[in-house]
Amino acid sequence: MKTIREKLPFIIAAAGSILYLALLFNNNVWMDEAFTALLVKGSFKDMMERSLADTLPPLYNIWAWCFVKLFGYHTLTLKLTSVIPMVILLFYSAFRVSDLYNKNTAACFILTLITMPHLLSCAVEIRMYALCLVFVTMAVISALYLTEKAAGKELVLFVLFTVLAGYSHHYGLISLLFVWSAMLIFFIIKKDGLKRFIFSAVLTAVLFIPYIIMTLYQIKNASGYFTTADGPTMGSFISSLRFPFVTNITPLSALLLLSVLAAILIGNRKKEGCLLILLYIAVLTLSYILEFVTGRSFFSGRYLIPSFGALWLGFSILLFSDDTDTPGKAKKVIRSLIVVILILSGTADISSAFREEYAGDAASMLAFFDENIGKDDGYIIYEDNYQIEWCLKYYEPELKKYDPEKIDEIKGNIWCFVTPEYAEMLDEMPIKAYNMDYKGELSFDRYSFLVYMLKEQDDRR
């Protein structure tokens, strides 16, 4: 029994790794994933040029480009670029959090990395969120080592992980700027080691000079960097505040939030745990302040994901801290109840993740295209936000999209794709000169669309 308890963090890490990997065997991508996949498909030069035309740092794109060049351009390969860092984080935490605190804290933290809302989804997504979360969390662990064990060598890792996080996503850097500020206060109070810390901060700033240049270039050239949507509201702020705890079952979401509050109450002597939970609130608050000042809405709840590792690490530290006034029996009961809530929430999130990844697989759509689409065929589409169009660029790169006004330029069969919300508006579309032969409904990932073949009414084609 003692052996199992000692190895529990590694057992949970291994189980989590298997779970992550089990989510990979599908061919579903959504718009942002298709965008990333297309970006890393060509040459390194092309990838970097397109990255600089985007609004985000390029590290994930570089990593994904190298990975697909080594192992092939495929959805499975691309999704591994997010899963591999998460698996590394699971075992990294098993080693380092166990050493820093205890086995129970490490086991709880690893469990949250598997079961908490949004983490399974971002772990298999062809985007930079998982990579950034990993580096932010590793930097936070190094910061805790610096405060708990005074391990000077951790400064090297702290700098390294900070740089990697910043080059992964802007919100990785924003998250860690709060951590660096807290560390500065710590070293000022402590006095010992302040010079080394200042030197490390200066070195980090120098390493971010290329990042600053790239970001300024991107802001200047990317017209969509800031949206033109209305400014933020208090309702959207509260919604974003709830984001880390939202499952597909509302009572479980409420219980998760109550679990965090309970952990704060029983472990409040561990100030670092409270500060880590506050990190995501600080990132969110800063974002909304900037939005109110600019009058623009450029924040998404997904941008909080880089701080989720710190949030759940803080929660685990508080929950399994032995430095508490709570009586031993009551503490055990609270811990047991919270672990049950974590498992229930994880069960709901795991089922949701599998449903999202495997329901509506692209296989049927690709089979239809293989059987029916010719090399000279083209399509017109009626949809919002170019979502299916971007995905078809990934799935069917040879199938060309045309504007409805240029439908006569299509030499082969003319296809019309229509998302359900546009179905009742077809009579108003500029395709009245064509007969519409309904071929059915296709779906993949979170999308579905109706398929028509168009033929001129007078059969002159």
Helix axes 44-52 and 59-71, enclosed angle (nearest 10): 160
Using only C-alpha atoms, the chain has a radius of gyration, in whole angstroms, of: 25
Residue 384 predicted with pLDDT over 50 = yes
293 pLDDT tier (thresholds 50, 70, 90): confident
Q: Residues 391, 447: contact at Cβ < 8 Å? A: yes
pLDDT tens digits, residue range 193-210?
A: 899 999 999 999 999 999
What count of residues does the chain have?
Answer: 461
Neighbouring C-beta atoms of residue 205, cutoff 10 Å: 10
Structure tokens at 397: 């790169």
Dihedral pair phi/psi, residue 439, rounded to 5°: -105, -5
461 pLDDT tier (thresholds 50, 70, 90): very low
pLDDT tens digits, residue range 316-356?
A: 999 998 766 667 788 889 999 999 999 999 999 999 999 88
Would you state the pLDDT for residue 438?
93
Would you state the pLDDT for residue 225?
47
Task: Give CA separation, 133 vs 289, 308, 438, in Å.
Answer: 23, 7, 45
Asked whether the CA dihedral 180, 118, 129, 300 is positive or negative, the reply is negative
What is the rounded distance in angstroms from the CA atom of residue 421 to the CA atom of residue 432? 19
Domain boundaries, the chain: 2-358, 363-456
What is the rounded distance in angstroms from the CA atom of residue 433 to the CA atom of residue 454? 9
User: Residue 198, SS3?
Assistant: helix
Task: Read off the pTM.
Answer: 0.94
404 pLDDT tier (thresholds 50, 70, 90): confident
Would you state the pLDDT for residue 325?
65
DSSP letter string, 388-439:
HHHHHHHH-TTSEE--GGGGGG--S-EEEEE-GGGGGGGGGSS-TTEEEEEE
Residue 280 predicted with pLDDT over 90 = yes
Task: Give CA separation, 57 vs 60, 266, 366, in Å.
Answer: 8, 40, 32
Provide the b/e sequence for 33-59 (b: ≥16 CB within 10 Å): bbbbbebbbeeeeebbebbeebbbbbb
Closest CA to 132 of 184, 185, 172: 172
Q: Residues 214, 58: contact at Cβ < 8 Å? A: yes
192 pLDDT tier (thresholds 50, 70, 90): confident
pLDDT tens digits, residue range 141-150?
A: 999 999 988 7
Closest CA to 221 of 36, 49, 46, 393: 49
